Chain A
């Protein structure tokens, strides 16, 4: 009964979904941007960029998607909107993973003045572009799903290693590991529903809910850790 109602109203609900995720991402970006402006810490910068790109991706997909649904935009733009959404979503994933890895790659005293345009990040832009083009040629979002499953598997492993290192000292590392793991399961479910369950609507609704939980967890973590004592 609930699923039927959700499926019947899915286009309207998608707009709300996009808006909620957009608001969550904006809150995370604003909160972390303030910390970055004080510390100039590259890790905070890449983390902030991840949510900036997630916010843009979801707003593009669901707000412009709504315009498409209500025939306010010509349907020929559908593929462009999907590709832009995919590009920003893949880049967001790369930024999130890189926020955990940058210290080992750039060193602590990184000299890059920009976190959006630098040689290392250019490689991610190129990889994201290749994945989007592959999906364009093959049709669907298969390459995006596969890349994100791999990416969040790696991010979960790194978060787990961080958690094992500072179990007692940093209580939120466990929480961050759980958030990454849930993200991995969300992407894995996305891939499975596309490859094996023929876009089953009931499963897709559950994935949407899982995604929402993941973003709320990220926001909760950021707010909790950054609140002034």
Chain B
């Protein structure tokens, strides 16, 4: 049985999916995040609220997600954060 993903891993996976594609449609991000629609919505709202990602709406009124500078910084330091939490047992 695979271990349940920790909250930080879920955030990493969502942000990493956006980073790989530069901008990604909500449906594609939902599939790649492997979350239920309800959970996905909660995570996306939290990440937008905390400034890790933002919504871009084009002329045809289509939504895509973009990574912010803070989102990039999170991905860059993800290993450090994970290391810290695990090594100190937090």
Decide: A35 near B87, CB < 8 A? Known: A41-B8, A108-B6.
no
B 49-81 binary contact with A (CB < 8 Å = 1; else 0): 010000000000000000000100110010111
A196 to chain B, nearest CB (A): 33
A147 to chain B, nearest CB (A): 22
By Cβ-Cβ distance, the 7 closest A-B pairs, closest first, are A43-B90, A162-B89, A172-B87, A39-B81, A170-B87, A38-B74, A170-B86
The answer to whether B87 touches A176, judged by C-beta atoms less than 8 angstroms apart, is yes
Report if A158 contacts B (CB, 8 A). yes
13 more contacts with CB within 8 A, not counting A35-B80, A41-B8, are A35-B84, A43-B85, A43-B88, A44-B85, A99-B90, A100-B90, A108-B7, A162-B89, A172-B88, A173-B86, A176-B87, A225-B84, A228-B80
**Whole-angstrom CA separation of A225 from B86 in the bound complex:** 10
Closest A-chain residue to B82, C-beta based?
A39
The answer to whether A35 touches B77, judged by C-beta atoms less than 8 angstroms apart, is yes
Main secondary structure of the interface of A (DSSP, over half): helix
What A residues does B73 contact at CB under 8 A?
Answer: 38
What B residues does A46 contact at CB under 8 A?
Answer: 90
What A residues does B50 contact at CB under 8 A?
Answer: 40
**Whole-angstrom CA separation of A102 from B88 in the bound complex:** 13
Q: Which of A40, A108, A176 has the most CB atoms of chain B within a 10 A radius of its CB?
A: A40
B36 to chain A, nearest CB (A): 14
A99 to chain B, nearest CB (A): 5
Closest A-chain residue to B6, C-beta based?
A108
A-B contact pairs, 11 of them (CB 8 A): A35-B81, A38-B74, A41-B8, A43-B88, A44-B85, A162-B89, A173-B89, A221-B88, A225-B87, A227-B80, A228-B77
